[in-house]
């Protein structure tokens, strides 16, 4: 093997929305560090979706397929077979790439889920391991406190402790044990997915840096605590926001969402509903949502897959066609940045939260799994930029209540003021002298110094 000059191994977790932010980071790094090459390792479905006919980084980013036991066409579904095959499946692909190039990798940039990144770096003489956490500071902090949280649950074996607030964890005083990510409270921490996350929590302190798609002023107390536990923490987000003067990417809007929003009267704020690429509410909740939207008669744009549309009440589409639009996919960034949008009904995935903050839109939250519960608590009780549906389930009455809170009440005005303030701080963070820009420059410096 020859030198490792300026060649970075990028290891993606190929499910859900994990790989796309990592590729976005790599493209940004490639532009800032033009002498570097990046080899991007993910499974076939993920690479096909991300790369297609694109040539990211002007050819300096090359995709390599990682073998797995997944089924073609199910890239959004997490398969135990893939997790059980780690890290061997990545090691095989990495060895093939190194043999092809005749050089060893000089740095490993991985999704934080891939806890073995440090081991792979150590095998190559202790080159740097940089981990990207694709969610928020609150959830990665929660995972680092897994053993402590589980000890609190163990002290209340009857389950009475789940309502206990985690006041002793910095920045978590509003969060209850029951709102922690589900993997923390899993019965078996050795099961495939909880085991992967637990291993990550144990290994992350060994990473040379942990990168967050967030900004310093969003969670300063938690970020300071993370910096006491991890070697380096870089907040480089919101990655969706581009510095002034940066050309906007082309919009794909096959369903004419933006012209439809343009046509709405300014006095009637629209409700945008979307639950990410992998989630559809249960049939009874789709009915509850639909009944509330019809009764409220506020303009609405609803991104709902065909298998969800079939559960809408009979005649709903016809009765609401004057003020509602349902599409199978919407350009979410452009929708949330549209001045007509006044509320975002969401599952509270991290990307959706950051996008809502970046464009100053209040949220109505219905979390399902993973980090969505803790994200929701921060939206409602820490940042105060949205509300959770009472009981965590969409019914007609509860949905009507939260729509009225956000769109028509004094509390809704306060929520709007708070989210607009956070929007301003996010915009400041990505300016040339902003905190996220400086953290990104530090990340580039770390990468540059490793070669």
Burial of 59 (0-12, 13-18, 19+ CB in 10 A): exposed
Fold of 257-428: Rossmann fold (3.40.50)
Residue 77, pLDDT above cutoff 60:
no
Residue 101 burial (CB count, 10 A): 16
State in Å, rounded, how far the first CA of the chain is from the last one: 16
Percent share of the chain, pLDDT over 70: 92
- Residue 353's contacts (CB-CB under 8 Å, 6 or more residues apart) are 136, 346, 363, 375, 379
Q: For 321-359, how does the pLDDT look when each residue is reduced to its tens digit (9 = 90+)?
A: 999 999 999 999 999 999 999 999 999 999 999 999 999
Q: Which of 18, 79, 338, 347 is catalytic?
A: 18
**Contact 220/145 with Cβ under 8 angstroms?**
no
Residues of the chain with CATH 3.40.50.2000: 7-237+431-449, 257-428
| Spatial distance between the Cα atoms of 15 and 11, rounded to a whole number of angstroms | 12
Structure tokens at 72: 């073609």
The residue among 226 and 279 whose pLDDT is bigger is: 226
3-state secondary structure of 321: coil
What mean pLDDT comes out for the span 229-252?
83
Q: Is 111 a catalytic residue?
A: yes
Mean pLDDT for the chain overall: 92
Nearest to 435 by CA among 115, 212, 204: 212
Find all residues with CB under 8 Å of 194, minimum gap 6, and list them. Answer: 183, 186, 188
The CATH T-level fold of domain 7-237+431-449 is Rossmann fold (3.40.50)
CB 36 within 8 A of CB 29: yes
Which listed residue (7, 45, 79, 111) is catalytic?
A: 111
Between residues 356 and 59, the one the model is more confident about = 356
Higher-pLDDT residue of 1 and 267 is 267
Q: What is the pLDDT of residues 174-212, one digit of tens each?
A: 999 999 999 999 999 989 999 999 999 999 999 999 999
How many CA within 13 A on the CB side of residue 179? 26
Helices 19-32 and 435-449, packing angle to 10 deg: 70
User: Tens digits of per-residue pLDDT, 5-45?
Assistant: 689 999 999 988 899 999 999 999 999 998 899 999 999 98
The values of phi and psi at residue 133, to 5°, are: -95, 115
Distance CA 164, CA 43 (A): 41
């Amino acid at each position: 093997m020859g030198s490792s000059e300026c060649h970075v191994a990028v290891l993606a977790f190929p499910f859900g929305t994990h790989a796309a932010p990592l590729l976005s980071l790599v493209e940004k790094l490639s532009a800032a560090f033009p002498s570097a090459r990046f080899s991007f390792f993910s499974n076939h479905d993920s690479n096909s979706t991300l790369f297609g006919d694109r040539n990211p980084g002007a050819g300096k980013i090359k995709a390599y397929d990682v073998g797995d036991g997944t089924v073609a066409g199910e890239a959004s579904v997490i398969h135990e077979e893939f997790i059980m095959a780690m890290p061997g499946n990545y090691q095989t692909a990495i060895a093939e790439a190194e043999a092809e190039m005749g050089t060893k990798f000089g740095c490993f940039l991985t999704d934080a889920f891939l806890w073995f990144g440090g081991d792979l770096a150590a095998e190559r003489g202790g080159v740097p391991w940089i981990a990207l956490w694709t969610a928020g500071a609150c959830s990665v902090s929660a995972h680092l406190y897994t053993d402590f949280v589980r000890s609190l649950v163990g002290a209340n074996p009857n389950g009475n402790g789940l309502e206990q607030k985690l006041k002793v964890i910095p920045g978590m005083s509003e969060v209850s044990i029951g709102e922690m990510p589900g993997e923390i409270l899993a019965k078996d921490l050795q099961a495939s997915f909880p085991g992967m996350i637990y291993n990550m929590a144990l290994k992350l302190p060994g990473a040379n840096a942990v990168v967050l798609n967030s900004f310093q002023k969003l969670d300063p107390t938690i970020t300071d605590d993370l910096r006491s536990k991890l070697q380096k923490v870089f907040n480089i987000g919101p990655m969706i926001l581009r510095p002034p003067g940066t050309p906007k990417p082309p919009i794909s809007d096959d369903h004419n969402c933006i012209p439809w929003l343009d046509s709405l009267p300014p006095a009637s704020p629209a409700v945008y509903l979307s639950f990410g690429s992998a989630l559809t509410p249960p049939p009874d909740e789709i009915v509850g949502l639909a009944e509330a939207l019809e009764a409220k008669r506020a303009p609405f744009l609803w991104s709902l897959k065909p298998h969800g549309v079939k559960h809408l009440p009979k005649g709903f589409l016809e009765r609401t066609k004057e003020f509602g639009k349902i599409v199978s996919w919407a350009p979410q960034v452009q929708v949330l940045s549209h001045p007509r949008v006044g509320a975002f009904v969401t599952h509270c995935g991290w990307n959706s939260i950051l996008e809502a903050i970046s464009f100053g839109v209040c949220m109505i939250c219905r979390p399902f799994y993973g980090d969505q519960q803790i994200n929701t608590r921060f939206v409602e009780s820490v940042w105060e930029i949205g509300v959770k549906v009472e009981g965590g389930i969409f019914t007609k009455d509860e949905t009507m209540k939260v729509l009225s809170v956000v769109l028509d009440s004094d509390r809704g005005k306060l929520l709007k003021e708070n989210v607009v303030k956070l929007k301003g701080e996010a915009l400041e963070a990505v300016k040339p002298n902003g905190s996220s820009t400086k953290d990104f420059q530090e990340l580039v410096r770390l990468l540059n110094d490793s070669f």
